[in-house]
Amino acid sequence: MPSLLLRGGRIIDPAHRIDRVADLLCVDGTVKRIGAKISGADEVLDVAGLVVAPGFVDMHVHLREPGKEEEETIASGSAAAIAGGFTSVAAMPNTEPAVDTQAAAEFVIQQGRRAGKANVYPIGAVTKERKGEELAEMGALVRGGAVAFSDDGAPVQNAEMMRIGLQYAKMFDRVVISHCEDRDLCGSGVMNAGVVAMTLGLSGMPRIAEDIMVHRDIALVAATGGRLHIAHLSTAGGVDLVRAAQKRGLRVTAEATPHHVALTDEAVREYDPNFKMNPPLRTATDVAAVRDGLRDGTIAAIATDHAPHAAEEKECEFVAAPFGVIGLETALPVVITELVEKKVLSLVQAVARLTAGPARILGIPKGTLKPGADADITVFDPKSAWVIDPSKFRSKSRNCPFAGWKVRGRVVHTIVSGKRMDP
Amino acid sequence: MPSVKKKAPEGWTRKDLLGLQELTRGEIELLLATARGFQEVSTRSIKKVPALRGKVVVTMFVEPSTRTRTSFELASARMSADIVDFPTSMSSLTKGESLIDTAKNIEAMGIDILIIRHGASGAPHLLAKHLKASVVNAGDGAHEHPTQGLLDIFTIREAKGRIEGLKVAIVGDISHSRVARSDIWGLRKLGAEVTVVGPSTLIPGPIEKLGVKVSHDLDAVLPEMDVINMLRIQMERQKRSLFPSLPEYSRLFGLNGERLRRAKPDLLILHPGPMNRGVEITPEVADGPQSVILRQVTNGLAVRMAVLYHVSGAHRAEGAPDA
């Protein structure tokens, strides 16, 4: 394999507190050396003025394969990942059928390898068919390559089932990822409960529906000693609960999505289903709290919850549209424009939440540029200005809430195991 | 044409009428003034003006309605439009065709105005975005019912001579009521003081943000009211346990003769229909001298004529036929 030299970039590796201008040499698919004036590589990329970061890790994507290949496949989804600078993605198991067996997990990995783009990690279901009734074969799922467990898309509504899941997953030291939503409180809700929902005549999903589940799951962690990760944390109350749990020393982590830190429920005013997702866009108070959580590290990961849907499913009455928006190809610019440029996060913090944070939660050997590590690298220009145009996306779907946004921050090179996968 | 339009406070530039929220006070005044002009048409022996001659109006009621649809149909007929009802219950909508496709197919036949009632809030907005034809919202989910709001305001002003400064109570299921929302927007813009009254489980928490007062005690607020609008209470809310029973609702929030004696003698009583006699309103009240419930229905025609007239652009058309 030809060696690759990235010359003169600003190397940011939050896992090892590196932030300096240097050269980086990749040999045989791994990071060989970081230093000044390295020479003698087969290929040299001049990356002066650009940021050289560990390849981004998105711990929450929906790749729709198997089952809904018209919306996304593992190949198209991992191509979208590469375009967005993500060298590793963890695929949620709410496919058809669900990833609740070893074979299903192996299929995801196999399709990822066939696509030959980003590293694709399966997340296994907590319960069989994600029905919340019987535990899935977690041991077999781990053997098949599952890096975490989740019934995402739905909560494990039964508290005893969730308790068992947390307790059992402990044996494998894998995290249980919880979609926190009390289904009874959300009822037929389609957006955040509040003044906007009231005005629009849409039924609401109250913030307490999320808070109560976060509270419940933290209590279950305290009881079991299990590892819990809260998916797409979106409420001020939830952020407070996670922060308090971490102070108590409980093994609780959390992620936030770019859309939950960039948009509020005001965006729904035109009834555009591209602003319909679960959890829903919340209020400015919640956005501020989630941003605070990202800043102080309560929320260690930025994850997209990339959820592709066919155009015909989203071009309809708001109540009839499915929940979910895509995010792989807009995460970096939204994070830079909304969080870095607005001084919520430093660039180093932003990179940390996109790399080392999620890699540590999943326990995968990614998210660092330490010599010896896989040469998964994202090179981006934090200043480059552009306009988001979903028609240019690699994803098969177009349900993007940021269409037309003027943003800064663009991926220039995505390198996986020392190989340039440039979009 | 009614002479009022010549001194209209401001012009109408909207393609659609989706709600009263986005209208200015001036636009509401314009519609009301035009409606007043059209009111007279209904009293003629030949109840027809040529204002919409050559225009095609389609009604599409995805949610059932008899009164509103009939009202729109008669309004269109009096304006000399060609009117067609799209029967949604036996349409392609039941065969899985999307609302947008259905509407675009209808539009392809050359229509000018689509009047839609739909159970999904925002359905008229979706069509307005995709169609060149004008879209008139005849009630969407729990969002708005702008022509009902306009006819309520028209009826109140007709009886009271003003809106500014009036105290208006809207009683019932505010959470699920599109009529309440349109009334609130319109009445507030015209300067009325609005109080919403109902069980705490049927009044949205943030409703005060719309500039209204909230009460759960009808007897306490009734004596000071100039106008009361009794909304229809729906049985299905009781099934969802949002209130315990119809008799209890009636005792707490129903308008009956005894309650009425404690109100101002000139309290004006409205109801958007259809009524549940004996539940939210007793027959003696509904049929009593303070009730303008049938007057609302009559005025609905003039208001809808005014709406169709303005959204069609007939007021802008050169050499528009004179009524």
pLDDT tens, residue by residue, A37-58: 999 899 999 999 999 999 999 9
Question: Which of B98, B99, B141 lies closest to A201 in CB terms?
Answer: B141
% of chain A at pLDDT higher than 70:
100
Extract the tokens encoding A244: 């308090």
Residues forming beta bridges with residue A407, ordered by sequence position = A386
3-state secondary structure chain A: CCCEEEEEEEEEEHHHCEEEEEEEEEECCEEEEEECCCCCCCEEEECCCCEEEECEEEEEECCCCCCCCCCCCHHHHHHHHHHCCEEEEEECCCCCCCCCCHHHHHHHHHHHHHHCCCEEEECECCEHHHCCCCECCHHHHHHCCCCEEECCCCCCCCHHHHHHHHHHHHHHCCEEEECCCCHHHHCCCCEECCHHHHHHCCCEECHHHHHHHHHHHHHHHHHHCCCEEECCCCCHHHHHHHHHHHHCCCCEEEEECHHHHHCCHHHHHHCCHHHCCCCCCCCHHHHHHHHHHHHHCCCCEECCCECCCCHHHHCCCHHHCCCCCCCCCCHHHHHHHHHHCCCCCCHHHHHHHHCHHHHHHHCCCCCCCCCCCECCEEEEEEEEEEECCHHHCCCCCCCCCCCCCEEEEEEEEEEECCEECCC
Lowest mean pLDDT segment, chosen from A3-12, A150-159, A252-261, B232-241: B232-241
User: Which parts of chain B fold into alpha helices (H)?
Assistant: 25-39, 67-78, 99-108, 123-130, 146-160, 178-189, 218-221, 235-239, 246-253, 257-260, 283-286, 293-311
CB hemisphere CA count around B22 (13 angstroms): 15
**Average pLDDT in the B113-122 region?**
96
Length of chain A: 423
Contacts of B182 (CB under 8 A, 6+ apart): B19, B20, B144, B145, B146, B148, B149, B150, B152
Q: What sign results for the dihedral spanned by CA atoms A205, A206, A212, A217?
A: positive
Question: Which of B21, B126, B181 lies closest to A271 in CB terms?
Answer: B126
Considering only the top CATH level, what class is A55-362? Answer: alpha beta
Do A316 and A270 touch, CB atoms closer than 8 A? Answer: no
**Contact state of A315 with B100 under an 8 Å Cβ cutoff:** yes
Do A323 and A253 touch, CB atoms closer than 8 A? Answer: no
User: How high is the mean pLDDT of chain A?
Assistant: 97
Do A290 and A233 touch, CB atoms closer than 8 A? Answer: yes
Q: Please say if the pLDDT value at position A354 is more than 60.
A: yes
Of A211, A268, A252, nearest in space to A235 by CA: A211
pLDDT of residue B1: 45
Question: What are the structural domain ranges in chain A?
Answer: 55-362
Of B288, B180, B168, B278, nearest in space to B231 by CA: B180
Distance of CA A26 to the CA centre of its chain: 26
Lowest mean pLDDT segment, chosen from A48-52, A330-334, A360-364, B83-87: B83-87
A100/A122 Cα distance (integer angstroms): 10
Question: Which of A194, A195, A317 lies closest to B120 in CB terms?
Answer: A317
A267 — contact with chain B (CB < 8 Å)? no
Extract the tokens encoding A365: 């050997």
* B308 or B321, higher pLDDT: B308
Residue A35 burial (CB count, 10 A)? 11
A292 counts as catalytic: no
A85/A117 Cα distance (integer angstroms): 11
A196/A217 Cα distance (integer angstroms): 29
**Average pLDDT in the B184-211 region?**
97
Q: Convert the pLDDT of each residue in B71-103 to its tens digit.
A: 999 999 999 999 999 887 766 677 778 899 999
B99 — contact with chain A (CB < 8 Å)? yes
B118 — contact with chain A (CB < 8 Å)? yes
**Contact state of B118 with A198 under an 8 Å Cβ cutoff:** no
A199 — contact with chain B (CB < 8 Å)? yes
pLDDT of residue A416: 98
Q: Please say if the pLDDT value at position B303 is more than 70.
A: yes
Distance of CA B242 to the CA centre of its chain: 25
Interface test with B, best of A191, A199, A203, A312 (most B CBs within 10 A): A199
Do A205 and A189 touch, CB atoms closer than 8 A? Answer: yes
Extract the tokens encoding A172: 């494998």
**Contact state of B98 with A198 under an 8 Å Cβ cutoff:** no
**Owner of token pair 């969730």:** A162
What is the enclosing helix (H) or strand (E) of B96? Answer: none
Contacts of B239 (CB under 8 A, 6+ apart): none
Of B219, B164, B228, B152, nearest in space to B195 by CA: B228
**Contact state of B122 with A199 under an 8 Å Cβ cutoff:** no
Of A188, A200, A350, nearest in space to A278 by CA: A188
**Contact state of B118 with A317 under an 8 Å Cβ cutoff:** yes
Task: State the ipTM, two decimals.
Answer: 0.89
**Contact state of A317 with B210 under an 8 Å Cβ cutoff:** no
pLDDT of residue B315: 72
From A197, which residue of chain B is nearest by alpha-carbon distance?
A: B143
CA distance B123 to chain A (A): 5
User: How high is the mean pLDDT of chain B?
Assistant: 91
Of A324, A325, A345, nearest in space to A409 by CA: A345
pLDDT of residue A423: 60
CB hemisphere CA count around B311 (13 angstroms): 28
Q: How many CB pairs under 8 A join A and B?
A: 56
Of A249, A248, A254, A184, nearest in space to A214 by CA: A254
**Owner of token pair 């944390």:** A233
pLDDT of residue B5: 43
Among A305, A374, A376, A381, the active-site one is: A305
B202 CB neighbours in chain A (<8 A) are: none
B221/B213 Cα distance (integer angstroms): 10
pLDDT of residue B247: 93
Q: Please say if the pLDDT value at position B321 is more than 60.
A: no
pLDDT of residue B229: 98
Extract the tokens encoding B260: 């009425």
Q: Please say if the pLDDT value at position A283 is more than 60.
A: yes
pLDDT of residue A298: 98
Extract the tokens encoding A245: 């749990």
**Average pLDDT in the B143-164 region?**
98
**Owner of token pair 């890699």:** A359
Q: What is the Cα Rg of chain B in Å?
A: 20
* B234 or A151, higher pLDDT: A151
Q: Please say if the pLDDT value at position B322 is more than 50.
A: no
pLDDT of residue B323: 40
Contacts of A419 (CB under 8 A, 6+ apart): A1, A29
Q: How far is CA B209 from CA A31, B34, B57, B177, in A?
A: 57, 31, 37, 17
pLDDT of residue A319: 96
Could you give the angle at the alpha carbon of B170 between the alpha carbons of B164 and B173, nearest 5°? 155
Distance of CA B297 to the CA centre of its chain: 10
B100 — contact with chain A (CB < 8 Å)? yes
A9/A299 Cα distance (integer angstroms): 28
Q: Is A30 exposed, middle or buried (0-12, 13-18, 19+ CB in 10 A)?
A: middle
Residue-wise over A112-142: b if at least 16 C-beta within 10 A, else e? beebebbbbbbbbbbbeebebeebbbbebbb
Q: Convert the pLDDT of each residue in A99-142 to its tens digit.
A: 999 999 999 999 999 999 999 999 999 999 999 999 999 999 99
Extract the tokens encoding A85: 């600078």
Q: How far is CA A264 from CA A89, A286, A335, A398, in A?
A: 26, 9, 15, 20
A202 CB neighbours in chain B (<8 A) are: 121-122, 141-143
What is the enclosing helix (H) or strand (E) of B195? Answer: strand B193-197
CA distance B143 to chain A (A): 4
